[in-house]
Structure 1
Amino acid sequence: MKSTAFWLPRHSLARQAERSISRHIARPRPLLSAHPRRPFTQTAPRRDRPQPGDDPNFTSILDNPPELVRAGRRHGPGLIILALIPVTALVLGTWQVQRLGWKTELIARFEDRLVQPPLPLPPRVDPAAIHDFDFRRVVARGRYRHDLEMLVGPRMRDGEDGFMVVTPLERDPGGSDGRGSTTVLVNRGWVSKKLRRQKDRLEGLPTGEVVVEGLLREPWKKNMFTPENRPDKGEFYFPDVKQMAELTGSQAVWVEQTMEPDLMEALEMQSKGIPIGRPAEVNLRNNHAQYIFTWYGLAVATSIMFYMVVKKPPTDMSRRIRMNKEWS
């Protein structure tokens, strides 16, 4: 039986060996790192200082329960101011209630004096007693001192600019009691600005004895917006009774002449420059009821705003979890 093995010549085996050696030499070798990687080894922890975990009472921040807090800014001084507004408005509203009662009683007392018959004005009037006779109807006789006339203004009447005519009334020239004249200041009424000069209103300058019926009034009070009078230039912006009395040598007594002309009479007096006096009525303003409604309304509105700010329900993003920061 013949063998089936293959026979190769000897020179073929030599060639195959040379090819294997040359292929092995030509293959590039990997470069070695300058710092070879060290094998991972587990080292024991250092024991030169105590660790927090060694304490049996140690509590990690992960073990503490979470705390729900409101997100955003906390309420600051603005909330305190918002809380003071309704309290202040409530106090002011209550004060206006008391003022309303006082003003109503005062007007009723003045109206009771108006219905009484006119009282003859005594020769000498104590300025301290005028408070008890405010809005009291009085009658005085005398002569006007037009040379000492003063115009106070400007004052508006029915949309037209003008002035108040203040003229000293000399009741007893020389003085029957030997103490000089008993002159008082009379607010005769309103005249138009175009007739402010005496030569343009001669019919409004009576020369004989006159009878003046009017209201005895307390001295006026100047507000902070009214400028100061300038007597040296004849400019009076408000009736300073004491100042006018010193300038004219009269008593510090202020009488407002009263009259009730109809429409036609008022127009004729205005055209002739005759001062138009005031009606015999109480003209005190009483707006305290409006102030009460305003202050109490503000107190209610701001109280609702304060409640809405404090009790505002949280939204989905208004709360977050803040971990307890106590590390001990």
Structure 2
Amino acid sequence: MSKRVVSVVIFGLAGMAILVSLGVWQLQRLAWKEGVLSDISARIEAEPVALPDVVDPEADRYLPVIVTGQFVGQTARVLVSLQGSGPGYRLISGFDVDGRLILVDRGYLAESAPQPDPPEGTLTVTGNLHWPDEVDGFTPAPDMARNIWYARDVVALADHLNTEPTFLIARDLSVPDAPLTPLPVTAQGIPNNHLGYAIQWFGLALVWLGMTAFLLWRITRRTV
């Protein structure tokens, strides 16, 4: 066996081993991510508790809470597109809980529908605390003239609506808030692409194996 054949075999096997190991690593990451998503789902669906006196955006993310109070102040509109329903807005309103003002994401309103005022009087809101990470370098600044926001920037919304930066995404209201459709927190929107990455690495390993075999075939044909 020539030195060239040996070097091709070693190089081919080494490359394939690396690609396969990356695929296996992605499968391990997949198992880890599925465990994380399972824990998040269990947290989201747990029994709601009272709003904590001090809210921690990390420790209290997805925490189910129940609050009683009144909607106050203005309402901000965050542009969204809902599959099956088209473009519309999430309506974000201030909510007074015993003198403590927080943000409540009331749900989805179709773009063509007139914007309703928040329900009046004392009511109860059940939902989950969340701090969506939707702002990046490409997010446009809010269009204040038309009251259109392009992301749920909790800090900026809280400053605009004069509330604390505590964000409650409603799952249920004790009174009707039609024509809004609640968009409660779920784990479905959290990315989990590890299986796709694993398939890509294993596919590349097969391609690498095929290329190595083809190169060896070419070499042996020339030496015959």
Distance 2:194 2:185 in 1: 23
- Contact 1:184/1:250 (CA < 8 Å) preserved in 2? yes
| 1:101 matched to 2:28 | no
SS of the residue corresponding to residue 148 of structure 2 reads: coil
Out of 106, 131, 135, the residue aligned to residue 188 of structure 1 is 106
TM-score norm. by structure 1 comes to: 0.55
Distance 1:248 1:158 in 2: 30
Q: How far is 1:114 from its partner? A: 3.5
Q: How far is 1:231 from its partner? A: 4.8
Out of 214, 220, 245, the residue aligned to residue 133 of structure 2 is 220
Aligned residue in 1 for 2:7: none
CA 159–207 in structure 1, closer or farther in 2 if over 3 Å, else same? closer
| 1:144 matched to 2:64 | no
Identity between Structure 1 and Structure 2 (%)? 21
Deviations 1:34-78 (A, max 9, x none): xxxxxxxxxxxxxxxxxxxxxxxxxxxxxxxxxxxx9xxxxxxxx
Aligned residue in 1 for 2:8: none
Distance 1:282 1:185 in 2: 21
The 5 A counterparts of 1:22-33 are none
CA 245–94 in structure 1, closer or farther in 2 if over 3 Å, else same? farther
Equivalent pairs, count: 212
Out of 301, 304, 312, the residue aligned to residue 210 of structure 2 is 304
CA 206–259 in structure 1, closer or farther in 2 if over 3 Å, else same? closer
Out of 161, 170, 182, the residue aligned to residue 257 of structure 1 is 170
Q: How far is 1:165 from its partner? A: 1.0
- Contact 1:142/1:211 (CA < 8 Å) preserved in 2? yes
| 1:120 matched to 2:38 | no
Deviations 1:119-153 (A, max 9, x none): 1113x433xx23223222101122112x4211111
Task: Give the letter for the 2:149 counterpart.
Answer: F
Where structure 1 has 5 or more consecutive residues not aligned to the other structure, the ranges are 1-69, 71-79, 174-181, 261-268, 320-328
Task: Give the letter for the 2:42 counterpart.
Answer: D
RMSD of equivalent CA atoms? 3.3
The 5 A counterparts of 1:190-205 are 190-195=108-113, 197-198=114-115, 201-202=116-117, 205=118
| 1:160 matched to 2:86 | yes
Out of 131, 135, 138, the residue aligned to residue 62 of structure 2 is 135
Where structure 2 has 5 or more consecutive residues not aligned to the other structure, the ranges are 5-10
Q: How far is 1:279 from its partner? A: 4.6
Distance 1:309 1:161 in 2: 53
Distance 1:276 1:189 in 2: 5
Of structures 1 and 2, the larger Rg is shown by 1
